[in-house]
Chains A and B, each alone.
Chain A
Amino acid sequence: MLVCCFADSAHAQTTADGFAIPQKGRVFEFPRDHGSHEAFRTEWWYLTGHLDGADGRRFGFQVTFFRQAGRDDANGKVSHLHLAHAALLDAASGRFLHEEKLNREGWDAFSSATTLDVRNANWSLKLDEATKRISVAATVKAEAVLKLELEAVKPLVVFGEDGVSRKGANESAASHYLTFPRLKATGSVKVGAQEHRVRGEAWMDHEFSSSQLDEGQAGWDWAAIQLKDGREIMVYRMRRTDGGTDAASTLTWIAKDGALKKAAFDWKALATWKSPHSGAAYPNHVRIESEGSVFELRPVAQDQEQGGSITGLPYWEGACDVLDARGEVIGRAFLELAGYAGDLKRHLGTQAQKRRE
């Protein structure tokens, strides 16, 4: 698979500390570009989805693999840390299980540079080139097991202009953002001693950059909406520290045939949930308007906060129902609210922001 974008050689190629800045016109080659891009500081493979059991049980899940590079001040050597999050929501009980793992690159955590093959301890995400199927396996604290086979229903899309998705005014605040917007998921979910055969739909982002946040930004709200009519919407709102919305915020429609269309949008919080764990207030019930359509994202359960036990960065990432203006469920979504607790800039900000920390 080859996706071609146009180059703009006038821009800086690297950050001050030598990490690559996403460049327009990058030629993506697959399966290589499903793999790791170690020239960039930050990379993630972000899988979210909704599953329905044969017994009628509904689950929301998230399995995310992060790679974060760091340069040793003393010898300039680059080393990589691999962080991973897994979460499972049992909609019926409202039970939300989640876990975080952190390992340095090596025998127990790695991301292949040639294909999609990511591992963090016993969690894995791997593409079988022959069948084009992606398999994912993750556990949550020996309380839950998720084993899924994923198959792309719609082709991979590349967000942004000429292959670069801007996150702020600064040219380094950008990423290469590749997404499978709709994957058919089949497999099993085990919660406690009970195992459920499941089917459902998933969304997978693969994003790599060297700075996700620009100066003056505090975090982002992101949503991946899968409508029943076969269309999807990807939307992110970069929040400024003064509470405003950054101009780099984007909403993209994905048509049935995979065609992308950027559109203006309005994001409004309808209700806020205060976490008893971190104390953070998350506006997790929102209304998004775009091109005359209204989408109400209503959380399936309130408590879908990832604890950030290792990184100290709690965030809300949860399964939502999508309702239209009449209150009818027209799809499902995953909503992410980052930067409401902890210091996101320290991990994902610009070099200048990190230095100030």
Chain B
Amino acid sequence: MSTVRLILEKCALRHWRLAWRQQVMLMLILALGSGVYLAMRLANRAALAGFEQFTSGITRQADFTIMGTTGSLSENWLREMRDGLEERPVHLLPVIEETVMPFEEGKAIEIGSGVTWKLVGTDFVSLLNLRGEAPAGLKGDVKAAEGVFVSAKLHKAVGDEICVVMHEQVVSLKVAGVVTEQPGVPTLPETMLLMDLPAAQKLMQREAKVDRVEVVVTRGEAFPNLREEAGEVLSKLANQRWQVSGAEDRRALAGTMTEAFRLNLTILSLLALFVGGYLIFQALDGVVIRRREEIGVLKSLGVTDAVIQRAFLIEALLLGVIGGGLGLLVGWLGAQAAVGGVSKTVNALYGASSVQRADLHFGEAVLSMSIAIVTSLIAAWWPAREASRTPPVHMLGRKAAVFSGGGWWRAEWLGWALMAVAMLLAQIGAWRLSGGTRVPLAAYAAALCWLLGTGLAAAKLMGPMRQMGRMFDGVTLRLGLSHLRRPTVRHRFAVAALASAVAMTAGMAIMVSSFDGTMRGWIERSMKADLYVSSAGAQSASSTHQISAATIEKLRAMPEVAEVATLRARGITLKGAPTMVLGVDGPFTQRQDAYAWVKAPGEMEWWRDGGAIINESFAERFEVDAGDELELPGGHRVRIHGIQADYGNERGAVTISEATFREWFEGEMAWRVALMLKPGADAEAVAKRIAEAHPGLSVFTNAHLRREALRIFRQTFSVTYALEVIGVFVAVAGLGLALASLLLERRADLSTLRSLGMTGRQIAATSAWEGAGVAMAGAVMGLISGGWLGWLLIYRVNKQCFGWTLGFAMPWGQFGVLMLAVVGVGALVSAMVGKWAAKMKWEEQE
């Protein structure tokens, strides 16, 4: 061990001092690799914490949650439940809730970017029976009924006023109490405003109605099987009016709703780490090369191979620890920046989140450190083995090193084989989870195989690059590209990293561009009204904010309004999965030709006689097709006549006629209202008037809503796009490091070239051409490979996750920019490395 320590002190640490910039660079690379993964993980968790907080109950651990299948639960049904339970000691806590949005006078909110709270009404008196199971500090003081209890984290005092938008109304609430955190009792989330039930019912204009009942079963010897019994009794009584779900079902449901999204992020961050792995290997490989002579001397002095290998691995471990530590900082900082984006995406998709702080947990810190250390050790293992096995005479020799290992990396056939495997994997369907969630696991595996294959096969393109060089005259060009005739493993690594990163970016660009094109077409077709009105609190496709019948009438009465169409919506649970029922004015949609059909209905007036249409997501999630019959909650049967393209939500939706909807789902309030104006009416002016008269309403002109819709869609991809950019950055940095290693190896050649009169500028140019050649090969392969990856993302990943059919669109412009950027930056970095190498004396080690 003392020899190892001596080597570390005399060699490793000396190198660290002399070449501190490189060491810092290496640590930063490790920090970046583990940090990006950590950042995504933290941001993901923080966004989900907000989501889960939104779906969690009032009580610590409700045994069951009862929810209406077609809407609210009537309080009469609650009495039935109580009667059915007889003397069983089961506590039934009624809860009513609405999403609300903090309101500030004159502040316009973009859809999906506003903070959303839950206003929850529950029986404060009943809660007293559940001490220890509900947030502390709530007194059963009915005098405080008109006020709300808020979390201390909201920094409000008793008596403060809080203005919120509920449905289309601006409502002023008064803080009646501040609930502080107490050990051992559930805390009140800061996104929840708690109100006494009768006051909440009155405020929400839903007297004698509740949204759910939290069922808490008392544990005791006298009722050994009470939980099962209670669940059975309540389910038996339901008669399709309500659904009883265990706390675990509810949590699982909340989880499955975002499962695909979470998995996407995790896999994408792992893919970024995969590209980062190339870079770390290249960097550590460079370290070994720079110390060849020193290793040779040590071996000549009798130091064994094992000691040398161990010393390198310990050094790698140290690098991993420091890099991992920095990675924690990078990850945490990155998460703070990313959490907003991730949260917005979750919000836009699922409509129930709030921005949470991305806290770092011990487990995650350990995981992130482990990633840095393990990656560093794996990446160092091969170079360390090379260093220890190479005979001293080769080490001390000044000729270019021949990399003995990595034979399989030279096997281009393996690359083609992996790509073929990827194509086969792409034919496998999604992995179906409970709750209608589908995870395109095979498609992800195909993407990984494809990327690996692309990397291996990319070297094939270096030959043609050299051929291209021959077409031009110029010493530096020919000399630079001549190195690609027989590419070394390092060339292959550099081109593989570049090709993988470019492929990922190109694939993503194709998907975004395809989305964009498809969305534009869909919006063009489906958004034809002059004005769209919704509650200002309606932040997402699944928002519960609605517009009252009275307000709709007021809009209808406006002199400029020619026609009013309403869209009614109700969240339902079908086969254990959340989805939606929509009620529309059938003739209006037909007059406006509002639907883009995937399968056009055979019946022109599809809404008649219990007819329905579904969207693609619904068809995919519930595996139903046109012509099928479907039973909706409440025992209502509909016949599916057609399937429409709908990029509005990924939970799926069944659309029925407005009249049927009102009859079946208590749909007096509208979710969205579309206004057709009379000829000559100024949409902007009418929008302004409506907004002034109803501050709780969001009014969008047609053009504005189209812009907003596209913005939300782009926002959904912002996080994944950022990851791809990091991937390209890492790959270009890897190219620079690979060239630095190659040039270090060729120190003797460089010295000879200088002796022959080659200037530093010419050496830099030679290096730049070599780098440009590698970059070009990587970029071309990456773009070609990205084309298929784009296809995979659109027709497999996206279709299996969301069920949307998209038109394929190639972003040629973006491809051109990407190509130029990669080749240009690659050449620039290579020139800089060449310039640095030209200044180096051949006997220098660093």
Contact = CB atoms under 8 A, between A and B. Distances in A.
A142 B125 contact: no
Interface string B68-91: 000000011011001001111111
Nearest to A101: B129
Interface string A127-143: 00000000001110111
Interface in B455-472: none
B704 interface: no
A104 B125 contact: yes
Contact of A142 (B76, B129, B218): B218
Nearest to B92: A108
A310 B127 CA distance: 10
Nearest to A147: B87
Interface string A109-137: 00000000001011110000000000001
Contacts of A70: 142
Contact of B142 (A104, A122, A147): A104
Interface stretch (A154-162, A185-193, A274-282, A283-291): A185-193
Contacts of A124: 87
A81 interface: yes
A121 B129 contact: yes
A69 B128 CA distance: 18
A72 B141 CA distance: 12
A142 B126 contact: no
B224 interface: yes
A103 interface: yes
Interface string B117-161: 000000101101101000000001011000000000000000000
A276 to B, nearest CB: 20
B222 A139 contact: yes
B221 interface: yes
A122 B221 contact: no
Contacts of B87: 122-124, 137-139, 145, 147
Interface in B198-224: 198, 218-224
B125 A144 contact: no
B226 interface: yes
A73 interface: yes
A103 B226 contact: no
A228 B88 CA distance: 35
B90 A193 contact: no
A103 B126 contact: yes
B222 A192 contact: yes
Interface in A50-65: none
A102 B86 contact: no
A124 B89 CA distance: 12
B128 A310 contact: yes
Interface in A294-338: 309-310
Q: Kindly name the residue among B76, B88, B128, B198 whose own CB sees the greatest number of chain A CB atoms within 10 A.
A: B128
A122 B75 contact: no
B222 A122 contact: no
A193 B221 contact: yes
Contact of A137 (B75, B86, B143, B198): B86
A101 B126 CA distance: 8
B374 to A, nearest CB: 51
Nearest to A141: B220
A106 interface: yes
Contacts of A245: none
Contacts of A309: 131
B78 A108 contact: yes
B224 A193 contact: yes
A309 B79 CA distance: 26
B125 A102 contact: yes
B794 to A, nearest CB: 52
A338 B90 CA distance: 30
> A121, A123, A124: which has the most chain B beta carbons within 10 Å?
A121
A73 B90 CA distance: 34
Contacts of B224: 193
Given A108-B78, A122-B86, A310-B128, A143 B221 contact: yes
Contact of A102 (B88, B140, B221, B222): B140
B140 A190 contact: no
Given A108-B92, A138-B87, A121 B219 contact: no
Contact of A107 (B75, B125, B131, B222): B75
B93 to A, nearest CB: 10
Contacts of B140: 102, 310
Contacts of A123: 87
B222 A190 contact: yes
Contacts of B82: 107-108, 119, 121-122
A79 interface: yes
A104 B141 CA distance: 11
Contacts of B142: 70, 79, 81, 104
Contact of A141 (B76, B126, B218): B218
Contacts of B220: 141-143
B221 A142 contact: yes
B219 A142 contact: yes
Contacts of B123: 103-104
B85 A122 contact: yes
Contacts of A79: 142
A107 B78 contact: yes
A192 B221 contact: yes
Nearest to B87: A137
Contacts of A190: 222
Nearest to A191: B222
Nearest to A192: B221
Given A104-B123, A190-B222, A192-B221, A139 B89 contact: yes
Nearest to A100: B129
A121 B226 CA distance: 16
A274 to B, nearest CB: 25
B87 to A, nearest CB: 4
Interface string A265-279: 000000000000000
A141 B87 CA distance: 12
Contacts of B198: 104
A24 B78 CA distance: 40
A216 to B, nearest CB: 28
A81 B79 contact: no
Contacts of B125: 81, 102-104
A79 to B, nearest CB: 7
A72 B130 CA distance: 25
Nearest to B76: A107
A73 B79 contact: no
B125 to A, nearest CB: 5
B468 to A, nearest CB: 82
Nearest to B82: A108
Nearest to B124: A104
Nearest to B131: A309
A104 B93 CA distance: 12
Between A73, A104, A141, A190, the greatest number of chain B beta carbons within 10 A of the residue's beta carbon is seen for: A104
A3 B220 CA distance: 44
Nearest to B210: A107
A122 B75 CA distance: 16
Interface in A61-88: 70, 72-73, 79, 81
A107 B86 CA distance: 14
B79 A103 contact: no
Given A81-B125, A124-B87, 15 more contacts: A104-B123, A104-B198, A106-B75, A107-B78, A108-B82, A108-B92, A119-B82, A121-B82, A122-B85, A139-B88, A139-B223, A142-B223, A191-B222, A192-B221, A310-B140
28 contacts: A73-B143, A102-B129, A103-B125, A103-B129, A104-B123, A107-B75, A107-B76, A108-B78, A108-B79, A121-B82, A121-B92, A121-B129, A122-B85, A122-B86, A122-B88, A122-B89, A123-B87, A137-B86, A138-B87, A139-B88, A139-B222, A139-B223, A141-B89, A142-B218, A143-B220, A143-B221, A193-B221, A310-B140
Interface of A: 70, 72-73, 79, 81, 101-104, 106-108, 119, 121-124, 137-139, 141-145, 147, 190-193, 309-310
Q: Top 4 nearest A-B pairs by Cβ distance?
A: A142-B220, A142-B218, A192-B221, A107-B79
